[in-house]
Amino acid sequence: MFIYSKKSNKYETYANYFLVNIFHKSYFENFKPTLPRLLPTPATVMQHILNPRSIAIVGASSDPRSFGGFVLANLERFAYQGAIHLVSRGSTDINGRPCVATVDALPQGIDLAVLAIPEAGVLEAIEKLGRLGTRAAVLFASGYAESGDEGIAKQAALTQVAAQSGIRLIGPNCMGFTNFAAGVPVTFEPLAAPALRTRPQGPGIGVVAQSGFMAATLRDAFAGRGLSLSCVFSTGNEAGVRVEDVLAHYIGDASIGVVAVYAEQIRNPQNFLTLARAAKAAGKPVVMLMPGKSERARAAAQSHTGALAGDHAVAMVQLRHAGVTVVDTLDELFDTTAILLRHPQPPAGGVAFMTGSGAMKNLALDFADSIGLPVPALSAATTQALKEKLPAFAVAENPLDYTTIGVRQPGLVGEILTTMLSDDGIGSLVLAIPAGPVMAQRDKADHILPALASANKPAILVITGDDGPMEPFFVEAIRASGVPMFRSADRALRAMRHVVARGADASARSSGLQAPQPVAVGLPGPKPRTGVYPEFQGKAWLKQLGIAVPQGALATSADEAVQIAQRIAYPVVLKAQASELPHKSDAGGVIVNLKDEAALRAGWQTLHANIARHRPGLQLDGVLVEAMGAPGLELVIGAKRDPDWGAVLLVGLGGIWIEALKDVRLIPADLSEVAIVAELNQLKAASVLRGLRGAKPVDLSAIARVVRLLGQQMQANPSILEIDVNPLIAYAEGSALPVVALDALVVLAP
């Protein structure tokens, strides 16, 4: 069923209109033609950007609070080892460094220029830098595409001049970057190098954010936890270097172990997905926060970075399928990244929760259940091993309250958590304990931290008590151990949900869940002018795919309709057919439960009268005469091709349930039947599918087969934009005909 959308000025499938975000794209479409096509930044250019042998500050100033002054001060604090060239109209010397008056006086072949000058001089400076062979330039200034039509025009001119000059731009509207691993801070925000360049051992975190504020926020959050930062990069409006370019560099950078991404729009989604799969293959986690769920958030993204979000729901599906750990909040971005830096390999199994409090145990169990975090039962062997260590009154289970034994035997707590982690069904562990007095903190540092640090599975520490004081020696011991530490059990469990999901995804992929290679099946008949195939053609196509549809045929006269009804047997339904009439019911074009010839002839007249009244002048292809379907469970199966992110499928309960429950799953188009069944079991109303209150379960495999077939066609036939099967009637397992498609529309690109 289709609904007319005023926003997009076209017909949308009911399921998509009601449940999937459809984004207005006029902003991006108006902006895109004015820009030259930006190719990915070559790896060599990214090397010269992040590891420049020479930097020119155009607009250097002796004023320490100017942008140029801040950049120079940062370079000096970080003891930058390359050549620094200063361009200043008002100074011949800054901090003992000579200045030249114009860009023309700079030497050839500078790797990176920082433009700290008024907008009026930017284009000329870029042209001159291009003639000197400068490779890249950072532009902090705002007032470009994020600020409206005038800014869009300015950014288009800026991008064109930079492209013609052979210069790769960073920005505008950005805060630059800081390569901590190489000691290259190219940002106007004053940085304290000793405080941030800590823990050089092992790979660190690579941050890339379109928002400079978010780049700084992530930097400070990770530094505040004592985590190793390798690089922080702000891309701003992305007139040149984009998030994808930075990600590509990070994947090949041995100093980076995990990537944290904040992006409001991915300008080349398919490239980003390819890179995400490469990161996954390299064992380098990518954790991403991408706003845009709400209409107001999408509008704010346009005004913030000149970005226009694509279909957010589709993007989330494709990102997760490519191996990206997509989080919902900024806290989750902090927390999940911190865990994955320590434990990048996906764990196999659920989470174990340990505490010395029955109250905390119960709270954790409730919270884990509310967020869908699996807390599996322990094996018999693990249970027996725990009983040998625990007091007789303690219950050996997951979550585990080990009581007060840690007070007298702190080393025993470490032994218990090691026993928990040895269980094959346990993939990670959360230990929640209070800091306690000084002696207790010393015990934890000496006995519990080593056990957590030596774990070969993700094992994290929660010190309860919110901002309650901790002794400096204990804080330092935790940081030195590398064990991820939280002050909130809720935050820890939310982060572990994402970590555990990575393991579940890896397990699914290793189980051979990829669907067979798809083969396109052509649609019958000529392509309609509107691109919308009417139901009778859509069903003929489904039948070619092997999907059952009701018996019936197209009639062009009442007599022909009677002959068809006599052949398929009463009762029948009449459905008006025209590609220009996706809303048959709204126009009175569906007449149901016609039990004999007289009723059929009367229904024929009523149908045509309704169409003439609601859509005068509309020429029907005919009327579909079909056998009435037997009652069953109504489902909706849909498919949609996002122009940026590709094809996804929609599955859920149909009919009135879609309005009442809004219970659908968006899934990738290339899943196998086994994986699709797993998705069906994730529906809120999965119990209805499995048989509720004595009802027989429906045939999930048959439903999954329909979904897989539609997914294969979306992959094999790029001209298909949408498919809508609503309802698909599912019957009990063992039925001769387990599923029947009662309605179908297919939309092709015009």
The predicted-structure confidence for 319-356, as pLDDT tens digits, reads as follows: 999 999 999 999 999 999 999 999 999 888 999 999 99
Q: Are 653 and 680 in contact (CB under 8 A)?
A: no
Asked if the model's pLDDT at residue 196 lies above 70, the reply is no
- Counts for the chain of helices (H) and strands (E), in that order: 28, 32
Q: Alpha-carbon distance 262 to 275, whole Å?
A: 16
Q: Give the pLDDT band of residue 84 (cuts 50, 70, 90).
A: very high
The pLDDT value given to residue 489: 96
Partners of 195 in the β-ladder: none
Asked if the model's pLDDT at residue 471 lies above 50, the reply is yes
**Which tens digit of pLDDT belongs to each residue from 533-561?**
999 999 999 999 999 999 999 999 999 99
Q: Above pLDDT 70, what percent of the chain?
A: 89
Q: Look at 184-198, 408-422, 692-706 and tell me which has the smallest mean pLDDT.
A: 184-198
Q: Are 396 and 378 in contact (CB under 8 A)?
A: yes
- Describe the crossing of helices 122-131 and 149-165 by its angle, rounded to 10 degrees: 10
The pLDDT value given to residue 506: 65
The pLDDT value given to residue 20: 30
The radius of gyration of the chain's CA atoms, rounded to the nearest angstrom, is 31
For the segment 405-424, the average pLDDT, to the nearest whole number, is 92
Q: Alpha-carbon distance 101 to 86, whole Å?
A: 9
Long-range CB pairs of 503-512 (<8 Å, 24+ gap) are 503/346, 503/347, 503/348, 503/349, 503/427, 505/320, 505/323, 505/346, 506/346, 506/348, 507/346, 507/348, 508/675, 508/678, 511/674, 512/672
Structure tokens at 388: 């040998």
Q: Give the pLDDT band of residue 147 (cuts 50, 70, 90).
A: confident
| Alpha-carbon 241 to chain mean position | 21
Neighbours of 123 (CB within 10 A): 16
Instruction: Choose among 485, 581, 603: nearest CA to 533.
Output: 581
Asked if the model's pLDDT at residue 682 lies above 70, the reply is yes
The pLDDT value given to residue 750: 79
3-state SS class at 196: helix
The pLDDT value given to residue 692: 80
**Which tens digit of pLDDT belongs to each residue from 348-368?**
899 999 999 999 999 999 999
The pLDDT value given to residue 30: 37
**Which tens digit of pLDDT belongs to each residue from 567-582?**
999 999 999 999 999 8
Structure tokens at 64: 């320490």
Long-range CB pairs of 592-598 (<8 Å, 24+ gap) are 592/628, 593/628, 594/565, 594/570, 595/570, 595/571, 596/570, 597/562, 597/565, 597/566
What's the CA angle centered on 205, arms 199 and 211, to 5 degrees? 130
The pLDDT value given to residue 529: 83
The pLDDT value given to residue 35: 42
The pLDDT value given to residue 294: 65
Q: Are 349 and 426 in contact (CB under 8 A)?
A: yes
Residue bearing tokens 């990161």: 279
For the segment 25-38, the average pLDDT, to the nearest whole number, is 39
Q: Alpha-carbon distance 588 to 574, whole Å?
A: 11
- Count of residues in the chain: 750
**Which is more confident, 662 or 305?**
662
**DSSP-derived secondary structure for 239-302:** SS--HHHHHHHHHH-TTEEEEEEE-S--SSHHHHHHHHHHHHHTT--EEEE---SSHHHHHHHH
| Alpha-carbon 59 to chain mean position | 40
379 burial class (0-12, 13-18, 19+ CB within 10 angstroms)?
middle
Neighbours of 479 (CB within 10 A): 15
Q: Alpha-carbon distance 129 to 533, whole Å?
A: 56
The pLDDT value given to residue 292: 81
Q: Are 307 and 466 in contact (CB under 8 A)?
A: no
Distance spanning both ends of the chain, measured CA to CA: 19
Cα dihedral 548, 554, 558, 564 in deg (nearest 10): -40
The pLDDT value given to residue 508: 59
98 burial class (0-12, 13-18, 19+ CB within 10 angstroms)?
exposed
**Residue 744: what residue type?**
A
Asked if the model's pLDDT at residue 38 lies above 80, the reply is no
Residue bearing tokens 């200043």: 88
The pLDDT value given to residue 658: 72
Residue bearing tokens 């800054």: 94
Which secondary-structure segment (H or E) carries 224?
helix 212-224
Helical residues (DSSP H) of 348-488, grouped into ranges: 358-371, 380-387, 405-408, 410-421, 438-443, 449-453, 472-481
The pLDDT value given to residue 509: 55
Q: Are 745 and 533 in contact (CB under 8 A)?
A: yes
Q: What is the 3-state secondary structure (H, E, C) of 512-566?
A: CCECCCCCCCCCCCCCCCCCEECHHHHHHHHHHHCCCCCCEEEECCHHHHHHHHH
Partners of 289 in the β-ladder: 262, 327
Asked if the model's pLDDT at residue 15 lies above 80, the reply is no
Asked if the model's pLDDT at residue 517 lies above 80, the reply is no
Structure tokens at 493: 């469990």
**Which is more confident, 26 or 556?**
556
Residue bearing tokens 């555990």: 500
**Which is more confident, 132 or 528?**
132
Q: What is the 3-state secondary structure (H, E, C) of 127-149?
A: HHHHHCCCCEEEECCCCCHHHCH
Q: Alpha-carbon distance 575 to 128, whole Å?
A: 69
The pLDDT value given to residue 279: 97
The pLDDT value given to residue 691: 87
Q: Give the pLDDT band of residue 163 (cuts 50, 70, 90).
A: very high
Instruction: Choose among 409, 484, 475, 480: nearest CA to 447.
Output: 409
Partners of 624 in the β-ladder: 554, 575
Average pLDDT, the chain: 89
Q: Are 215 and 105 in contact (CB under 8 A)?
A: no
**Which is more confident, 543 or 518?**
543
Structure tokens at 636: 């909706």
The pLDDT value given to residue 518: 78
Which secondary-structure segment (H or E) carries 216?
helix 212-224
For 37, 515, 651, 678, the CA distances from 704, given in Å and listed in that order, are 40, 11, 9, 9
**Which tens digit of pLDDT belongs to each residue from 615-645?**
999 999 999 999 998 999 999 999 999 999 9
Asked if the model's pLDDT at residue 12 lies above 60, the reply is no
* Helix, strand, coil percent values for the chain (each to nearest 5): 40, 20, 35
